[in-house]
């Protein structure tokens, strides 16, 4: 509890503080309180501690004026806060007792909290893990994002198996974890006119719509530190609650409408990932957030009274994917039009401030915005982008006769290579022209990185190859993703955490901050008693999951079976389809066996969870197939003891915390070269679940750590993918011939074994025709790998050893390691210890 300042934290004081909040903040009577009220009061009491640490941390930052890092992310998938705050503050036991004295159970009140689900998937959860690690590593970092009124939609599954979406009103009850900062407000302009003022690139931007950005601060406690960092989320509000002119002119409805449109900006998180769509409101979200965040960062810098040219020595801004790329032209605009710097000085500042992380190489996910749309919404920024391309930054061509500039242009470096100019331009020709945000992010940044070794190689050799040749390889690095072991082991798997501490003879505060200490578990693979305890904890976690399924779905799960889990966004490249077709194959195989032979097969329970983008037809059809296969096979008396299947609706961070510790094997089976990293793979392995996967993303580095004998790899490798796709296009082989087992499975689905066969035709045809994600190439080796899993699982002693070895070798994947790499190799920031 060294982490705490100010407040008394004995059980008696805690009880008093909770009761005090019941009576004052909630204005309720302690004797007729429900679980929700108890949660709210406990949260407010914990919050008091966070606020004191937050104040002290921010005071130190102001006093010491270190270089700071800013993490700009449109998504922060935080999940619940109370349990995490208690563990990070080291007050879990005290609150558990205090809550008990008041007649409540801590487990019950923790369940009352709604997830903060301001993200789609891995990209947003990564941002949340990095916040936790920054505070735990005492690094001066703030996150900047949007305070969406509605987070990722709630997923409902209809009786037919269709995904339905409902809004996520996560702010329905007041949110104790945010502090509204009604005094931290900025104006953000949209539309209007931009007029060039002189030959130096200056302009004046006037007119249009002005919207207010209001700050809400979320406290981010470090683990075992007093450091409490900040996540600042912006809310949009109309500049004037009412447009008085319209009101006076008798246009009441018009006046109300203008206030609606300002508020619309932060009303909802876009539930897509990996597909661009060019919606104006999404562009407005991106600009609203980057403009407010930059204004805030600049205001803080200006308080230091340093020359503006020193800005990059005090601020490093990380762009989480291309979503905040407008920050680049926005900082140019401020420096040129408002600070009146010359173009070269401004561009020098910009390119020393920003850092860009790419999170996908899938072409459909690379952001492009139509030029006419940017011209309309952000006319000044469009001018600046054009100036970067050719006129002033000497990027593509050399149209200014400023030979003294040290910067070279693409044209000068590669004369007569017009195709290269077209490939590299920020503007893609076409109807309409489009701005390529990844190119802008790349040339506007100091460094660029991918999120796992293979992915970073693909960034360097495919999507940004020309830029590597132009700017040099040293600008293009890698930071392999990581996860916070606090949430993803200590919090979600407390029994395993306790066993590890006992075995290593280390306080958890030590190994949770130096995860490589887990290697100390290796000798214990030979300790029978330890192995038995390890296995027993996994079993209890399986029972906890079964209990959850029974509570939520009313279904009884067989816990004496291998638990096989695939949980992630539904997407063709992630190949949930391969998994479900594999399940059907197993089912058909079981059906063909004698009962005696079936008894020898490893019993298996397969879990799926994940959301599909609301407009992603094929992904939704995959859910429907999974649900209907489950309906049939779970009811089949011949096989149901040996194989069952569950689709758990409404996947969330909180559900992941129950699923991950319960898995024996998890599936990460993307087509090679498509999954940039994956981070749930790390979470499963940290919890002693083994990995079945393709040679892709971070799977590769996990295998390097734990040894290939402890993972189940299958499928073609990345270099083969292009050739295989070529074969599909130009030398197709009938599926019956190429992969009869798969053809048979598809035919059974078509024939209606799981209900209306014709419903699934569009999904099945993605495999039969084109097969872009290469299911037919990988199916046989996939089935073989599943067989190897069965065989390995049958040797339960050896399996436990594999499980222990896997956990023991996961040290590399702590997000503490990752955040320190960013701090040292990218941002050049140092720790700021906060002590009294
Ligand atoms: C792209 C787009 C395109 C426009 C529509 C909205 C939207 C939203 C998100 C994205 C970014 C997709 C990139 C992404 O989520 N990548 C995932 O990042 C994880 C963290 O690095 C990584 O583990 C996953 O492998 C990668 O798919």
Q: Which residues contact 677 (CB under 8 A, 6 or more apart)?
A: 122, 359, 451, 452, 455, 480, 481, 697, 698
Residue 466, pLDDT > 70, answer yes
Strands 427-428 and 434-436 turn out to be: antiparallel
Distance 127 CA to ligand 1 centre (A): 12
Residue 249, pLDDT > 60, answer yes
Distance 161 CA to ligand 1 centre (A): 26
181-223 pLDDT tens trace: 999 999 999 999 999 998 788 999 999 999 999 999 999 999 9
Atom of ligand 1 nearest to the CA of 455: 25
Task: Enumerate the β-bridge partners of residue 141.
Answer: 69
Q: Which of 129, 318, 359, 669 to mutate to test the pocket of ligand 1 (most atoms within 8 A of CB)?
A: 359
To the nearest whole number, what is the mean pLDDT of the chain? 95
Instruction: Give the full edge-to-edge strand order of the sheet including 427-428.
Output: 368-370, 434-436, 427-428
For range 819-825, the mean pLDDT: 98
Residue 434: pLDDT band (50, 70, 90) is: very high
3-state SS record for 729-761: HHCCCCHHHHCHHHHHHHHHHHCCECECHHHHH
Alpha carbon 354 to its chain centroid, in Å, reads 20
Residue nearest to atom 8 of ligand 1 (CA): 273
3-state SS record for 693-736: EECCHHHHHHHHHHCHHHEEEECCCHHHHHHHHHHHHHCCCCHH
| Rounded CA separation 123/636 (Å) | 39
Please, which contacts does 786-794 make with residues 24 or more away whose CB atoms are closer than 8 Å?
A: 786/582, 786/586, 786/692, 788/712, 789/562, 789/564, 789/665, 789/690, 789/692, 789/712, 790/562, 790/601, 790/602, 790/604, 792/690, 792/712, 793/562, 793/602, 793/664, 793/665, 794/602
726-735 pLDDT tens trace: 999 999 999 9
User: Of the residues 21, 447, 683, 716, which is catalytic?
Assistant: 683
pLDDT at 403: 46
For residue 64, indicate whether it is catalytic: no
Query: Which token pair is 334?
Result: 């401020």
pLDDT at 251: 72
Element (H, E) at 767: helix 761-768
Tell me the C-alpha to C-alpha distance, in Å, between residue 214 and each of 78, 251, 256, 677, 683: 20, 27, 20, 34, 35
pLDDT at 488: 98
User: Of the residues 92, 569, 571, 716, which is catalytic?
Assistant: 569
| Ligand 1 residue neighbourhood (C-beta within 6 Å) | 121-123, 126, 270, 272-276, 321, 359-360, 365, 367, 451, 481, 675-679, 697
For range 122-128, the mean pLDDT: 98
Backbone angles phi, psi at 649, to 5 degrees: -70, 160
Query: Which token pair is 664?
Result: 């024996």
For residue 679, indicate whether it is catalytic: yes
Distance 60 CA to ligand 1 centre (A): 35
pLDDT at 7: 86
| Rounded CA separation 486/463 (Å) | 35
Q: Which residues contact 119 (CB under 8 A, 6 or more apart)?
A: 75, 76, 77, 125, 127, 128, 151, 152, 269
Say if residues 5 and 836 touch (Cβ distance below 8 Å): yes
Q: Which of 129, 270, 321, 569 to mutate to test the pocket of ligand 1 (most atoms within 8 A of CB)?
A: 321
For residue 569, indicate whether it is catalytic: yes
| Rounded CA separation 642/634 (Å) | 10
Distance 720 CA to ligand 1 centre (A): 24
| Rounded CA separation 642/563 (Å) | 12
pLDDT at 392: 64
129-162 pLDDT tens trace: 999 999 999 999 999 999 999 999 999 999 999 9
Residue nearest to atom 18 of ligand 1 (CA): 123
Atom of ligand 1 nearest to the CA of 678: 23
Residues 691, 696, 699: CA angle, nearest 5 degrees: 35
| Residue 686: closest CA among 548, 491, 545 | 491
Distance 696 CA to ligand 1 centre (A): 16
Q: Which of 441, 677, 700 to mutate to test the pocket of ligand 1 (most atoms within 8 A of CB)?
A: 677
Burial profile 309-336: b = 16 or more Cβ within 10 angstroms, e = fewer = eebbebbbbbbbbbbbbbbbbbbbbbbb
Residue 599, pLDDT > 60, answer yes
Residue 357, pLDDT > 90, answer yes
Strands 203-206 and 193-196 turn out to be: antiparallel
362-419 pLDDT tens trace: 999 999 999 999 999 999 999 999 999 876 666 787 655 544 456 778 888 999 999 9
Residue with token string 């506007």: 444
For range 555-569, the mean pLDDT: 98
pLDDT at 230: 98
Distance 390 CA to ligand 1 centre (A): 30
3-state SS record for 529-574: HHHHHHHHHHHHHHHHHHHHHHHHHCCCCCCCCEEEEEECCCCHHH
Measured over all CA atoms, what is the biggest interatomic distance in the chain, rounded to whole angstroms? 88
Atom of ligand 1 nearest to the CA of 126: 20
Residues 810, 812, 815: CA angle, nearest 5 degrees: 105
Say if residues 673 and 696 touch (Cβ distance below 8 Å): yes
Residue nearest to atom 16 of ligand 1 (CA): 359
Atom of ligand 1 nearest to the CA of 365: 3
Atom of ligand 1 nearest to the CA of 675: 25
| Rounded CA separation 630/707 (Å) | 34
pLDDT at 245: 61
Distance 363 CA to ligand 1 centre (A): 12
Say if residues 136 and 166 touch (Cβ distance below 8 Å): no
pLDDT at 769: 95
For residue 683, indicate whether it is catalytic: yes
For residue 266, indicate whether it is catalytic: no
Backbone angles phi, psi at 305, to 5 degrees: 60, 40
Distance 492 CA to ligand 1 centre (A): 25
| Rounded CA separation 122/38 (Å) | 32
Start-to-end Cα distance in the chain: 14
Say if residues 606 and 707 touch (Cβ distance below 8 Å): no
Tell me the C-alpha to C-alpha distance, in Å, between residue 430 and each of 411, 425, 710: 22, 13, 49
Residue 247, pLDDT > 90, answer no
25-44 pLDDT tens trace: 999 998 889 999 999 999 99
| Structural domains of the chain, ranges and CATH numbers in brackets | 1-64+81-114 (no CATH), 65-80+115-480+821-827 (3.40.50.2000), 541-794 (3.40.50.2000)
Q: Which residues contact 681 (CB under 8 A, 6 or more apart)?
A: 666, 668, 691, 693, 697, 698, 699, 702
CA quadruple 157, 158, 164, 167: dihedral positive or negative? negative
| Rounded CA separation 329/350 (Å) | 9
Residue with token string 């406690």: 221
Eight-class DSSP state of 155: E
Helical ranges in 430-553 per DSSP H: 437-443, 453-458, 465-471, 485, 494-504, 508-511, 528-553
If one compares 390 and 514, the residue with the highest pLDDT of the two is 514
Burial profile 107-136: b = 16 or more Cβ within 10 angstroms, e = fewer = eebbebbbbbbbbbbbbbbbbbbbbbbbbb
3-state SS record for 312-327: HHHEEEEEECCCCCCH
Backbone angles phi, psi at 411, to 5 degrees: -65, -40
User: Of the residues 484, 671, 679, 806, which is catalytic?
Assistant: 679
For residue 359, indicate whether it is catalytic: yes
| Residue 333: closest CA among 349, 318, 313, 322 | 349
Strands 476-478 and 68-72 turn out to be: unpaired
Residue 1, pLDDT > 50, answer no
Q: Which of 120, 123, 813 to mutate to test the pocket of ligand 1 (most atoms within 8 A of CB)?
A: 123
Q: Which residues contact 74 (CB under 8 A, 6 or more apart)?
A: 145, 146, 285, 286, 289, 320, 321, 323, 324
Distance 172 CA to ligand 1 centre (A): 28
């Amino acid at each position: 509890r060294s982490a705490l300042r100010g407040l008394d934290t004995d059980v008696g004081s805690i009880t008093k503080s909770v009761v005090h909040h019941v009576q004052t903040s909630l204005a309720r009577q302690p004797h007729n309180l429900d679980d929700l009220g108890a949660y709210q009061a406990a949260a407010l009491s914990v919050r008091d501690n966070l606020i004191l640490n937050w104040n002290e941390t921010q005071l130190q930052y102001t006093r010491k004026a270190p270089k700071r890092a800013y993490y700009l992310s449109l998504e922060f998938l935080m999940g619940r806060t109370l349990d995490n705050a208690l563990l990070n503050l080291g007050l879990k036991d005290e609150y558990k007792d205090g809550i008990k004295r008041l007649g409540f159970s801590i487990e019950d009140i923790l369940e009352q909290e709604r997830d903060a689900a301001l993200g789609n998937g891995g990209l947003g959860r990564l941002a949340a893990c990095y916040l936790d690690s920054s505070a735990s590593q005492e690094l001066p970092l703030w996150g900047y994002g949007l305070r969406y009124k509605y987070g990722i939609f709630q997923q409902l599954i209809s009786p037919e198996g269709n995904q339905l979406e409902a809004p996520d009103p996560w702010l329905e009850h007041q949110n104790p974890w945010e502090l509204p900062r009604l005094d931290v407000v900025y104006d953000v302009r949209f539309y209007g006119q931009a007029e060039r003022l002189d030959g130096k690139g200056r302009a004046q931007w006037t007119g249009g719509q002005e919207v207010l950005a209001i700050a809400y601060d979320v406290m981010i406690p470090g683990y075992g530190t007093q450091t409490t960092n900040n996540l600042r989320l912006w809310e949009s509000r109309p500049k004037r609650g009412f447009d008085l002119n319209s009101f006076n002119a008798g246009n009441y409805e018009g006046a109300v409408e203008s206030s609606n449109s300002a508020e619309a900006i932060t009303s909802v998180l876009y539930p897509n990932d990996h597909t661009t769509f060019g919606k104006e409101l999404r562009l407005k979200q991106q600009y609203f957030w980057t403009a407010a965040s930059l204004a805030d960062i600049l205001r803080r810098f200006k308080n230091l009274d340093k020359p503006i040219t020193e800005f990059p020595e005090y601020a490093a801004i990380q762009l989480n994917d291309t979503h905040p790329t407008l920050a680049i032209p926005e900082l140019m605009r401020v420096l040129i039009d408002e600070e009146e710097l010359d173009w070269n000085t401004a561009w020098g500042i910009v390119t020393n401030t920003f850092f860009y992380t790419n999170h996908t190489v899938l072409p459909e996910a690379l952001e492009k915005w139509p030029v006419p749309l940017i011209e309309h919404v952000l006319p000044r920024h469009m001018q600046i982008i054009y100036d970067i391309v050719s006129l002033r930054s000497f990027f593509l061509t050399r149209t200014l006769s400023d030979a003294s500039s040290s910067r070279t242009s693409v044209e000068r470096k590669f004369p007569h290579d017009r195709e290269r100019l077209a490939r590299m331009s920020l503007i893609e020709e076409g109807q309409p022209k489009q701005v390529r945000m990844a190119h802008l992010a790349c040339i506007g940044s100091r460094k660029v990185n991918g999120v796992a070794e293979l992915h970073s190689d693909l960034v360097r050799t495919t999507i940004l190859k020309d830029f590597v040749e132009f700017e040099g390889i040293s600008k293009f690095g890698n930071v392999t993703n990581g996860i916070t072991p606090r949430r993803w082991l200590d919090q979600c798997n407390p029994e395993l955490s306790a066993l590890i501490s006992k075995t290593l003879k280390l306080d958890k505060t030590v190994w949770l901050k130096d995860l490589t200490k887990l290697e100390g578990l290796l000798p214990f693979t030979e300790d029978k008693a330890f192995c038995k305890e390890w296995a027993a904890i996994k079993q209890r976690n399986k029972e906890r999951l079964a209990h959850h399924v029974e509570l939520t779905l009313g279904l009884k799960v067989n816990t004496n079976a291998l638990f096989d889990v695939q949980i992630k966004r539904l997407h063709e490249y992630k190949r949930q389809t391969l998994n479900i077709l594999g399940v059907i194959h197993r089912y058909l195989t079981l059906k063909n066996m004698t009962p005696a032979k079936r008894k020898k097969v490893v019993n298996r329970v397969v879990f799926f969870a994940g959301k599909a983008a609301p407009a992603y037809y094929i992904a939704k059809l995959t859910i429907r197939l999974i649900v209907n296969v489950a309906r049939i096979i779970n009811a089949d008396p011949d096989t149901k003891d040996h194989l069952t299947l569950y689709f758990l609706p409404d996947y969330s961070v909180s559900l992941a915390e129950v699923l991950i510790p319960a898995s024996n094997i998890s599936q990460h089976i993307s087509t090679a070269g498509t999954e940039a990293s994956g981070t749930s793979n790390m979470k499963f392995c940290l919890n002693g679940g083994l990995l079945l996967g393709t040679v892709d993303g971070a799977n590769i580095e996990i295998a390097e750590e734990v040894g290939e004998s402890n993972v189940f790899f299958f499928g073609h490798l990345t270099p083969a993918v292009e050739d295989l796709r070529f074969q599909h296009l130009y030398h197709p082989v009938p599926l019956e011939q190429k992969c009869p087992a798969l053809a048979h499975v598809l035919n059974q689905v078509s024939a209606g074994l799981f209900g209306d066969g014709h419903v699934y035709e569009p999904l099945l045809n993605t495999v039969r025709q084109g097969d872009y994600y290469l299911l037919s190439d990988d199916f046989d080796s996939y089935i073989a790998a599943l067989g190897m899993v069965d065989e390995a699982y049958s040797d339960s002693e050896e399996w436990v050893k594999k499980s222990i070895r896997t956990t023991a070798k996961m040290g590399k994947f702590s997000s503490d390691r990752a955040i320190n790499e960013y701090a040292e190799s990218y941002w050049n920031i140092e720790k700021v210890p906060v002590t009294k």
